[in-house]
Amino acid sequence: MKQVVECVANFSEGRRLEVIDRIVEAISAVSGVTVLDRQSDADHNRSVITFVGTPDGIEDAAFRGIQTAATWINMEEHQGEHPRIGATDVVPFVPIEGVTMDDCIKIARRLGERVGTELKIPVYLYEKAATRPDRENLANLRKGEYEGLKEAIRSDPDRQPDFGPAELGTAGATVIGARPPLIAYNVYLNTSEVEIASKIARAVRHSTGGLRYVKALGMLVEGKAQVSMNLTDHTHTPIFRVVEMVRREAARYGVSISHSELVGLIPQRALIDAAQWYLQLDGFEADQVLETKLASAQASEPEFDEALAAGTAAPGGGSAAAYGATMAAALVGMVARLTMGKKKYAEVEERMGEIAAQADRLRAELKQAVEDDSAAFTAVMDAYRLPKQSSEEQAARAEAIERAMHHAAEIPLDTVHKAVQVLNLAAEVAETGNTNAISDAGSAGALAHAALQAAALNVRINALNVQDQTAAATWLETLAELQEAASTAVARLHAAIRERGGIDV
Pairing relationship of beta strands 88-97 and 4-11 according to DSSP bridges: antiparallel
The CA distance from 257 to 250, in Å, is 7
Q: Is residue 236 within 8 Å of residue 247, measured between CB atoms?
A: no
Contact of 161 with 108, CB cutoff 8 Å: no
Judge whether 196 and 249 are in contact, CB under 8 Å. Answer: no
- Across the chain, how many H-helices and E-strands are there? 15, 10
| Phi, psi dihedral angles at 421 (to 5 degrees) | -60, -40
Of the candidates 154, 162, 100, the residue with the CA atom closest to the CA atom of residue 125: 162
The candidate with the shortest Cα–Cα distance to 184, out of 146, 220, 221, 214, is 214
Which one is catalytic: 82, 234, 406, 449? 82
Determine how β-strand 123-127 pairs with β-strand 4-11. Answer: unpaired
CA distances from 282 to 44, 235, 275, 279 (A): 39, 17, 11, 9
Kindly list the distances between the CA atom of residue 3 and the CA atoms of 99, 163, 265, 359, in Å, as whole numbers in the listed order: 6, 27, 19, 27
Please, what is the Cα angle at 314 between 310 and 316, to 5 degrees?
90
Cα-based distances in Å from 496 to 348, 422, 499: 16, 16, 5
Active site residue 82: yes
**Residue 359 Cα to chain centre, angstroms:** 16
With b for 16 or more beta-carbon neighbours within 10 A and e for fewer, the 28-62 pattern comes to bbbeebebeebbbbebbbbbbbbbbbbbebbbbbb
> For residue 352, which of 336, 332, 331 has the smallest C-alpha distance?
336
By three-state DSSP, how is residue 236 classified? Answer: coil
Rounded to 5°, the CA angle 267-237-222 comes to 70
| Whole-angstrom distance, CA of residue 59 vs CA of residue 285 | 36
Which of these, 307, 420, 421, lies nearest to 370 by C-alpha position? 307
Give strand pairing partners of 227: 187, 218
d(C-alpha 390, C-alpha 382), whole Å: 18
> Active-site positions?
82
